[in-house]
Amino acid sequence: MNDYLVKSLAFDGQVRAYAVLTTHTVSEAQHKHSTWPTASAALGRALTAGLMLGAMLKGEEKLTIKIEGGGPLGAILVDVDAKGEVRGYVTNPQTHLPLNEQGKLDVSGAVGKNGTLSVVKDLGMKGYFTGQIPLVSGEIAEDFTYYLAKSEQIPSAVSLGVLVNPDNSIQAAGGFMIQMLPGATDEVITRIEERLKTIPPVSTLIQQGMIPEVILQQVLGENNVQIIDKMSVCFKCRCSKERISSALLSLGKKDLEEIMETEGQAEAICHFCNEKYLFSKEELAKLIDEAQED
């Protein structure tokens, strides 16, 4: 089954909810970056959260998420747009820790708790909207819950999960996000809070074969959910040789000449997808002709 996301309203418009299946998306990230299990779980959770935040965007809008917690994993960076396309990486992909006290992957230990989660939105205007919060746990779902409440003033519940196989491949990944809209009654809020206390981990639900629509029914009640939209999601990088050429041009004529003299060629690697771009001596010479004098 291909990955996809559903948007919904519940309880007669009192609640907005998203659920997303990201098993293939996280698998693609794991494959491109050769992440080890704890790193896979951390990056997968961040990619999944990013897709749900991206589903709130419109048109050509996009956003960038950065998580820096001071742990051995280093920084997590995720880019996502309104079309369900996401890309991301971690500084140290070969990070894996012993299981935590609950017998689960120690994402918090890998990410760290001494740092921040920031979201920068490009809404197509002159400036950018930036929200930032201190990390509360490093588990990522709790941190996004806190971000939405504090930075965007939306009471929310975020659940994210990634199951990793012994061979490092991804068995199941996905998440859901429940948001209380203005006018939500105390009765509805209490019902959802009680439901969230008993629901199995979202990765378990996906492992059992539940699709996003059914996950939302499990969380909110079968008769309370109205699906309003559905969209495909995937890991997709926007890098290209043309974009890398532009980046090389920005180095200036002097630096390009030095690269050609010392290396004879240039190799650039995209951080987001690990794609390698090789520029021959002839291609460098052409870039030097186009470059501005320093």
Q: Is residue 194 located within the same domain as residue 148?
A: yes
Residues 164 and 259 in one domain: no
- Which domain, by its residues, includes 118? 4-235
Model confidence band, residue 61 (pLDDT cutoffs 50, 70, 90): very high
Write down which residue in 212, 235, 258 finishes a domain: 235
Please provide the average confidence, as pLDDT, over all residues in the chain: 93
pLDDT 10s digits, 136-160 = 999 999 999 999 999 999 999 999 9
CATH number of 212's domain: 3.55.30.10
Q: Are residues 219 and 275 in the same domain?
A: no
Q: Please report the pLDDT score of residue 284 as a whole number.
A: 86
Q: Are residues 35 and 136 in the same domain?
A: yes
Tally of CA atoms within 13 A in the half-sphere of 87 that contains its CB:
12
Please state, in angstroms and as integers, the Cα–Cα distance from residue 226 to each residue in 174, 193, 231, 232, following that order. Answer: 20, 19, 15, 18
pLDDT band at 293 (very low <50, low <70, confident <90, very high): low
CATH number (domain holding residue 252)? 3.90.1280.10
The residue from 235, 254, 273 where one domain ends is 235
Does the pLDDT at position 227 exceed 70? yes
Split into its structural domains, the chain has a count of: 2
Render 21-36 in DSSP notation, one character per residue.
E-HHHHHHHHHHHT--
Q: Are residue 221 and residue 264 in the same domain, yes or no?
A: no
Residue with tokens 């029914």: 217
Q: Please indicate, yes or no, whether residues 257 and 180 belong to a single structural domain of this protein.
A: no
Nearest to 37 by CA among 137, 143, 173: 173
Whether 292 has a pLDDT exceeding 80, the answer reads: no
pTM of the model: 0.93
Q: Is 111 found in the same domain as 71?
A: yes
Confidence of residue 262 (pLDDT cuts 50, 70, 90): confident
Residues 277 and 211 reside in one and the same domain: no
Residue 16: φ, ψ to 5°: -110, 140
Distance CA 105, CA 38 (A): 6
Angstrom CA distances, 200 to 160, 161, 208, stand at: 12, 11, 11
Question: The tokens 């190799």 sit on which residue?
Answer: 267
In this structure, are 113 and 54 located in the same domain? yes
Among 128, 134, 116, 29, smallest CA distance to 78 is for 29
Do 231 and 245 fall into the same domain?
Answer: no
Q: What is the pLDDT of residues 161-220, one digit of tens each?
A: 999 999 999 999 999 999 999 999 999 999 999 999 999 999 999 999 999 999 999 999
Contact in structure between 4 and 134 (CB atoms under 8 Å): no
The answer to whether 2 and 24 are in contact (CB under 8 A) is: yes
The verdict on 78 and 193 lying in the same domain is yes
Does residue 245 share a domain with residue 166? no
**How much is the average pLDDT of 39-51?**
98
